[in-house]
Amino acid sequence: MNLIKADFYSIFHRKSFYIMFGLMVVCAFAFVATSYGVESGALGKSAIGTASGFMDTMILNIVGPILAAIFICSDFQNKTIHDMVLQNGRRKIVWAKMVPYAGVIAIMLLPYALFTLIGCLSGGKFSVMFANSVDSSYMTMLANETKIAFDGKTVVKLFLVLVVIALIYISRMSICLLLSVLIKRPVAVVGIGIIVELLLSLVAVAGADSKAVTSAIDWTPFLMLRKNNLTASVADLLKTAGTSLVFITIILNITTGIFIKAEVK
């Protein structure tokens, strides 16, 4: 618990955290505002191509590895990890690192979640064309192509979907924790992390209609975003949440094994 508190304290006292969060706010606003502008006619359809670069998947695939490099690799760079090993078990260190990292990822997603919540509850109209051209559960819910009525039950389900989306992203970004422990060098973690996350996302999107690809990655969080929206059943949402947690556990166990062997050497 002390490790987790110390990491959160360190994170919230770094300028880089607030810079990254500010970037997420700007990108989320641009993403949602473009969809609204295209639907209202204030913006042309050509704006869709540019605004797709502000998609949550794209931005977090960049921000996630950067955050891992800053908040996890720094302990290896300044040697504080050695003091942690002496005072705590190696397994505890890996799991304790994941908790604040997961918290930071969830915080980074708040702008997208809040803009989605506001957009859905306000009754605003958003571009279905835009939603169909990007791989974003947030935009799918905003466009509301199936015309779901937002009553009390739907609002509760919306909150559930937003929580599950956060879990999916946390599980996807857990790979960056593995890379941080394996590589330890911030620049390399950022570069390799971005490439790995983007490639896996592209494979998931490109192979969504392929049975072979789908069967291979269906148990991972990289195909789940396309299914996770208000049209999904509660059972499917809970299944997705469970699968994400299992994926995180697997990655953490692999990371722990690598960390233990590295320390032995």
Q: What is the pLDDT of residues 212-253, one digit of tens each?
A: 666 666 667 776 666 778 888 899 899 889 999 999 999 999
108 pLDDT exceeds 70? yes
75 pLDDT exceeds 50? yes
Say how many C-beta atoms besides its own lie within 10 A of residue 6's C-beta: 14
Number of compact structural domains in the chain: 1
11-28 pLDDT tens trace = 898 999 999 999 999 999
- Residue 243 corresponds to which tokens in the numbers above? 């699968």
State pTM to two decimals: 0.89
DSSP one-letter code for 52: G
Q: How far apart are CA 57 and CA 20, in angstroms?
A: 15
Q: How far apart are CA 180 and CA 189, in angstroms?
A: 6
Q: How far apart are CA 262 and CA 260, in angstroms?
A: 5
What residues make up the domain containing 82?
A: 2-264
Positive/negative CA dihedral, 238, 235, 209, 159: negative
